[in-house]
Amino acid sequence: MAQESPKNSAAEIPVTSNGEVDDSHEHGFNREEFGYNADTQKLLAKNGETLLGAINFFIASVNTLVNKTIEDTLMTVKQYESARIEYDAYRTDLEELNLGPRDANTLPKIEQSQHLFQAHKEKYDKMRNDVSIKLKFLEENKVKVLHNQLVLFHNAIAAYFAGNQKQLEQTLKQFHIKLKNPGVDTPSWLEEQ
pTM tops 0.75, yes or no: no
CATH number, domain of 135, equals 1.20.1270.60
Residue 129 lies in a domain: yes
137 inside domain: yes
Residue 178 lies in a domain: no
pLDDT tens-digit series, residues 153-168: 899 889 888 888 888 8
* Residue 9 is assigned to a structural domain of this protein: no
User: pLDDT tens, 28-47?
Assistant: 567 888 888 888 888 888 88
> Is residue 6 in some structural domain?
no
SS3 assignment for the chain: CCCCCCCCCCCCCCECCCCCECCHHHHCCCHHHHHHHHHHHHHHHHHHHHHHHHHHHHHHHHHHHHHHHHHHHHHHHHHHHHHHHHHHHHHHHHHHHHHCCCCCCHHHHHHHHHHHHHHHHHHHHHHHHHHHHHHHHHHHHHHHHHHHHHHHHHHHHHHHHHCCHHHHHHHHHHCCCCCCCCCCCCCCHHHHC
- Quote the number of domains for the chain: 1
Is 105 among the domain residues? yes
The predicted pLDDT at position 44 comes to 84
176 occurs within a structural domain: no
* Enclosing domain of residue 104: 51-146
